[in-house]
Amino acid sequence: MRKFLIAGNWKMNKNYDEALQLARAIQQRAVNEKKINIGVFVPAPYLREMSLESPDLIVGAQNIYWEQYGAFTGEISPPMLRSLGISWTLIGHSERRALFGETDEDVNRKTVAALKHCFFPIVCVGETLSQREKKTTLDIIGKQVKELFYEIPADMARSVTVAYEPVWAIGTGKTATPDDAEEVHAYIRMIITSLYGREISDEVRILYGGSVKPSNAASLLKMRNVDGALIGGASLNKEDFISICDTAVSIDKREGK
C-alpha cells in the first residue's frame, strides 16, 4: 500500500524568518500523522535549521549534483547534504530543465548519485504545451522515465519517487484533468513495470505536480495511480497546504493503494 506524500516545493521564496514560521506551522500539523507523509523542499540556506525544527516532516533539497567535491561553483554534493541530515532531494524540476539547461542525461546522473548516497529522490518529468498540443505527451514522458531509470538497479529503483508535472500547468493556474493525470501516471507505472516488474512498480510513488490547490486536490488524489502531490504556490500558504494534507488523509484508504 503506497502512502500518500504531500510535498511542498518552496522554490526561491520566503526569507529566513518567514520560512521558519511556515515550517513550524506545517510541523505542528504533521505531529503524530501516520496516514500520510508530509514534506517541504526548501531553499538550501534553510535546510539545516528547517530539518532540526521539523522532526515530523520530510525536509529536502531542491537540487543536488552528481560529483562529491571539487571545482563546481554553486553546486551542492550528496555528502554535503548528508552532513546536514538531509536524505531527500528534488531532481529534474522543469524549471531546472528550462532555465538551467538540465538534460535527461543530467537528471539520470543526479539520480544515480543520489541513490548511491542513500537519498530518496523525487524525480520530475513532464511535457511542454507545444508537446501536448502535438499529442506527444506519452512519447515525451516515456523517454524521460526510461532515461531517469537508466542503469539503476531494482533495489535502488524502489527508493525513487516520480513526479509528473505538466510544464504547461506550473504556475499558470491551469491543471490537467484528473483523467488526464491518471492516464499519464498509469503510463509511467506501466513503464516502471516493464523495467523492473510489478512488485517494484507497485512500490514506486507517482506524484502529480501542476497547480495543485485545495479546490482540485481531492479529484486528483482520488485517481488510482496518483500517490500524492508536489505543490508549488499553494505550499507557501500554510492554510492551503494544510488543507491539501487534510484532504489526502480523508481519502488515504482507497482500495488498491
Q: Catalogue the active-site residues.
A: 93, 165
Task: Please tell me the distance from the alpha carbon of residue 175 to that of residue 210, in angstroms, as a whole number.
Answer: 6
| Amino acid symbol at 108 | N
Rounding to the nearest 10 degrees, give the CA dihedral for residues 146, 151, 153, 154.
10
Q: Could you give phi then psi for residue 89, rounded to 5 degrees?
A: -155, 145
Strands (E), the chain: 5-9, 37-41, 58-60, 88-91, 120-125, 161-164, 206-208, 228-231
* CA–CA dist 150, 142 (Å, integer): 12
Query: 213 with 234: CB under 8 angstroms?
Result: yes
> Do the Cβ atoms of 186 and 224 come closer than 8 Å?
yes
Q: What is the CA radius of gyration of the chain?
A: 17
Distance (Å, rounded) from C-alpha 42 to C-alpha 61?
6
**Euclidean distance between CA atoms 241 and 243, whole angstroms:** 5
Query: Do 169 and 176 form a contact (C-beta atoms < 8 A)?
Result: yes
Task: Scan for cell 531517469, then name that residue.
Answer: 148
Distance between alpha carbon 158 and the CA centroid of its chain, in Å?
A: 15
User: Distance (Å, rounded) from C-alpha 170 to C-alpha 209?
Assistant: 8
